[in-house]
Each structure stands twice: as structure tokens, then as C-alpha cells.
Amino acid sequence: MVDVSYREAAEVGKRLLAWYNEAKRDLPWRRTSDPYKIWVSEVMLQQTRVETVIPYWNRFIERFPTVEALADAPEEEVLKLWEGLGYYSRARNLQAAVREVKAKYGGRVPDKQEEMLALPGVGRYTSGAVLSIAYNVPVPAVDGNVFRVLSRIFLIEDDVSKPAARKKFEALAEFLIPPGEASNFNQSLMELGARVCMPKHPRCERCPVHDMCRAYKEGVQEDLPVKGKKKPPRPIDIATGIVWNAGRVLITRRPPQGLLAGLWEFPGGEVAGGESHKAALQRIFAEKWNLSVRVQSHFANVQHTFSHIRWNLQAYTCEANGGAAAEAEDTRWVQVWQLADFPMPVAHQKLAKALAGLV
């Protein structure tokens, strides 16, 4: 582990707790000790800003106030409430996990780490956050903010993308927890990283431990944490059809596994090398839905970037030749005003809104 004395650990803990009690934001999930509601907030906050999460969390908890309410809800309704937050596997995993909590634990969120970690989609960070914040269990909760804070305070130059580094940071974070203060201390680390010890231009003069910060003393705080470089997202050309028949438009549901699983979208797919978007649409409709379409005019361009790919989507209005494709579980012909009832990826939400503006 990192060379940290008990005295140094105690001083860091004391200062961060005092600072947190004075400076913490009034967030809705901090007004409850309900582990389910805290769990929902932690899942939503992954890869998403606090300001974005607040209205989503409020709506979600209003509709699904208990483990049982979420466990019993139709998945499509859950995904619709999640619409716009992205990373939809989070919502599906959360619902699968609470169903297990209902079945195995009578609806009570487990307070033991091995039980939390056995739930679908629950990793070490989420488990640590829920157990420490809701139950005050002295376990670490190391996310990006905590990696950054600890790497700077204790000048740790390990690559945080490596599993060995995570173990080191978790051991250090656990060592630092003051007795009986796991909930507030773990939140103090997160809060400091979000508001003071920021990725760029850290506000060191506002930091309660800046005079103890080893990176600050060396003037290298902005160089930490050390991270392996990510590959840039791979561009993919997508052809999408706004297919009309008898005043209705065609939407299809994505497969139950994979990217954006289970969401509805305007049909289409990847453009092959050397293929035009119009030719791609005719090929894709014939292959996937046995449907002949007449591609009419360009409708819109939409770009959307995921962590690993970037969609360059071109949409065209089309007309079905020889009648409509048969409706099935994953295929619907709907009125434009009905599109708002279906959970859709952000790129397709933009198309739906543009379409509604033209009708």
C-alpha cells in the first residue's frame, strides 16, 4: 500500500469531514438513508453529471419508490423513464438486480458486500457506495473522483486503468476511513473530486488538505491521475429510413442484447464500403424485413458519439412498395404523435422530434 501514517490518515479524515459538513451540496438522494434510493442515484451518476441526474432521479423515484415497484414494472416503462440518460444497460441491470433483491431478500437491499457483488450489474464501486453511504459499512467506494483525489494527495503515479492500481487505491481508501464515518467520508472524497480537485485546473486554494497534498507540493497535481490513453471512437456510417405507409411510420426494436438493447428506432443499419446510403437502405430493408422501399429524399443528418464508436447517421424518407411490413413484437407502424411513447436512443429521438415538427 501507499506509505501513509496513521497520524496523516487521521488528519486527512478530520479535515475532509469538516469540509464536507460545511460545503456539501444539498442533493435529493442525500436527504434519505433508503439504500434503494441511494443505489438508484449511484447507478444514474455513472458517466453522468449531477445536474443531469437530479430530474431523472426525482421522476424515477416518484414512479418507482420501492424495490418492489421497480421489480414489478414493465422493462419498456423503465427504459422510457431512463430515456436520454444513456448507457441503458444500467437500467436493465438495475431492474434485474432489484428483482433478485425482492426474490432473495424480501425487498431489503443487502448490507453485506459479497451479497451486493453477486447482484447483476453491481461492481465494487456501486457496492461500496451503497453499503457505506446507506449502511455506514467501512468499505471503499473508488470512482473517477476518488482516483483523482487520492492520486494527488498521496502522489500515486500508478496507471489507474490497471487492475493492480485499483486494488492499491481501494486499500488506501479503506485505510483512510475514520471510525464510524464511512458514509460521510466516502462522500467527502467524491464531493472534493467533483467540486475542488477537478480534472483540469483544480482549485487547490479551496482544498482543505492542500498543504498536505504531495502532488501540490511538487507542482504536478494537473498531471495526475495517470491514465492509459483511450482509442478514439470508431466512425460508423448509418443509413436510416423514415418509412411511410398509410400515414404511419415504421419503427423497430433493437435486439435484447448489445448496444442500446431493447430500444425502439427508425429502421436501418450500417453502410457497407463503397455503398451509397440509398442502396444500403434498399438492401437492409430487403434482408431484415423482406420489405421493398422507394427511397425518396434526404431527411436529416445526426451524429452521436458513444465511448467506443461514433454514429454518422443519414436519414431518408421512404415509401413502402406493395404494402406494409407485417407488425410483430419488434415491429410497429405508428402515428407520429405516438413516437413519444417509445423509448428511443438519443439520435432517433432527434429524428422523431424533427419529424413531429414537420407534421
Split into its structural domains, the chain has a count of: 2
- Tell me if 228 is assigned to some domain: no
- Say yes or no: 215 and 292 in one domain: no
- Say yes or no: 191 and 244 in one domain: no
- Tell me if 13 is assigned to some domain: yes
Q: What is the CATH number of the domain that holds 321?
A: 3.90.79.10
Range of the domain at 253: 234-358
- Say yes or no: 288 and 180 in one domain: no
- Say yes or no: 114 and 248 in one domain: no
- Say yes or no: 206 and 276 in one domain: no
For residues 351 and 151, give the distance between their C-alpha atoms in angstroms, rounded to a whole number: 43
- E strands, the chain, where? 234-245, 248-253, 264-265, 268-270, 293-305, 309-320, 331-334
| DSSP annotation of 328 | B
DSSP H helical segments within 177-321, as ranges?
Answer: 182-195, 214-218, 277-289
The residues assigned a catalytic role are: 42
Q: Is the pLDDT of residue 343 over 70?
A: yes
* Phi, psi torsion values for 19, nearest 5 degrees: -65, -45
- Tell me if 301 is assigned to some domain: yes
For residues 274 and 272, give the distance between their C-alpha atoms in angstroms, rounded to a whole number: 6
What are the pLDDT digits (tens) for 18-77?
999 999 999 999 999 999 999 999 999 998 999 999 999 999 999 999 999 999 999 999
What confidence category does residue 325 fall into, taking pLDDT thresholds of 50, 70 and 90?
Answer: low
Q: Which of 223, 252, 285 is the last residue of a domain?
A: 223
- Say yes or no: 338 and 243 in one domain: yes
- Say yes or no: 197 and 243 in one domain: no
Q: What is the model's pLDDT at position 121?
A: 93
Range from 61-75, 108-122, 285-299 carrying the lowest mean pLDDT: 285-299
Residues 109 and 130 sit within 8 Å (Cβ to Cβ): yes
- Say yes or no: 134 and 251 in one domain: no
- Tell me if 239 is assigned to some domain: yes
Residues 248 and 318 sit within 8 Å (Cβ to Cβ): no
Q: Which of 204, 223, 242 is the last residue of a domain?
A: 223
- Tell me if 104 is assigned to some domain: yes
What are the pLDDT digits (tens) for 149-186?
999 999 999 999 999 999 999 999 999 999 999 999 99
First to last CA, the chain: 63
Q: What is the pTM of this model?
A: 0.88
- Tell me if 178 is assigned to some domain: yes
- Tell me if 283 is assigned to some domain: yes
- Say yes or no: 265 and 246 in one domain: yes
Residue 91's H or E segment, with its range, is helix 89-105
Of all residues in the chain, the percent with pLDDT exceeding 90 is 87
